[in-house]
Structure 1
Amino acid sequence: MRDYYTITELTREFDISTRTIRFYEDEGLIAPIRRGRTRLFRHSDRQLLKMILRGKRLGFSIAEIREIMGMYRTPPGEAGQLRTIIRRVSERRAELEQKRRDIEDLLSELDQAEEACLTRMAELGISPTS
């Protein structure tokens, strides 16, 4: 295991911009060591960055990610953190399932509108391709 990572190494590894890493730093989610103007990231910073990016992929806000990460450091600790993650994942899943139902409903309505138009065009003797 390495002692330190540069910002360039992390941007390449995670395929993100330096601006993204600086944003997470400004938000207090990661705290690299500074040597002059150089940021050096510990293994723990790399792991935090990995968790932040996973949280973003799951649709969590920065505030939610901060809350979950904060729980790990203070009571209720890891158990509370895990319960919160499970609750947030469940909420996010419910939101996405509702969006899927909404999209399926809209697609069905579009199919019906298209079918009605094609039927009427056939009645009028109009070709749908011209």
Structure 2
Amino acid sequence: MPAQTFTISQLAKEFDLTTRAIRFYEDMGLLSPARAGLQRVYSARDRARLTLTLRAKRLGLTLVEAKDILDMYDSPRDTVPQLEKFLGVLGAHRAQLEAQMAELQANLAEVREHEKKGRATLVRAHKAAKAASDGESTPDTTTHRQ
């Protein structure tokens, strides 16, 4: 049974990518298609690596980090160092995301406080405008110039 292969157009359509993006992943060393003349022929391994690359991107990893992790799994070495590296990268990324989330939460709290103060100021401004308009509707006979 022949191994399944894919064209760049097939992968682009399947993963909703441009062919340029796939060629970029190839240039980064994430994919290694065979050549049939000028045409790229992607293997099931390339397809799996593309799937994992896109998953790594969704997790916020850089392409270099994704490549390092994928390349570790290609080597015949023990899986312990590979898993340790993977967990180290994920742990560092999680810490970065948690720090960003804490900063966003602090910013959100500050925005809410400004909104609260702005609303209170608006209520006072409406009351002042209403009082001023009520005062203008009655003739002012107390001020005369001499």
How many correspondences in the alignment?
127
| CA 126–76 in structure 1, closer or farther in 2 if over 3 Å, else same | farther
Q: Give the equivalent residue in structure 1 for 2:16.
A: 15
Q: Give the equivalent residue in structure 2 for 1:67.
A: 68
What is the TM-score when the length of structure 2 is the normalising length? 0.77
Q: Give the equivalent residue in structure 2 for 1:54.
A: 55
What is the TM-score when the length of structure 1 is the normalising length? 0.86
8 Å CA contact 1:71, 1:77 repeated in 2: no
Q: Quick one: distance in 1 between partners of 2:4 and 2:120?
A: 69
Q: Quick one: distance in 2 between partners of 1:93 and 1:122?
A: 43
| 1:30 partner SS | coil
Q: Which runs of 5+ in 1 are unaligned?
A: none
Q: Which runs of 5+ in 2 are unaligned?
A: 130-146
| CA 123–20 in structure 1, closer or farther in 2 if over 3 Å, else same | same
| 1:16 partner SS | coil
User: What's the offset of the Cα at 1:89?
Assistant: 1.3
User: What's the offset of the Cα at 1:73?
Assistant: 2.9
Q: Quick one: distance in 2 between partners of 1:65 and 1:91?
A: 14
Q: Quick one: distance in 1 between partners of 2:89 and 2:72?
A: 14
Q: Is the deviation greater in 89-98 or in 1-10?
A: 1-10
Between Structure 1 and Structure 2, whose CA radius of gyration is higher?
2
The percent of aligned pairs where both chains have the same amino acid is 34
Q: Give the equivalent residue in structure 2 for 1:24.
A: 25
| CA 78–117 in structure 1, closer or farther in 2 if over 3 Å, else same | same
Alignment of 1:77-96 (within 5 A): 77-96=78-97
| 2:35 partner SS | strand
Letter of the aligned partner of 2:56 in structure 1? G
| 1:39 partner SS | strand
| 1:67 partner SS | helix
User: What's the offset of the Cα at 1:95?
Assistant: 1.4
Alignment of 1:101-112 (within 5 A): 101-112=102-113
Q: Is the deviation greater in 74-83 or in 99-108?
A: 74-83
- 1:40 aligned onto 2:54: no
Aligned-pair Cα RMSD in Å: 2.0
Letter of the aligned partner of 2:70 in structure 1? M
- 1:119 aligned onto 2:120: yes
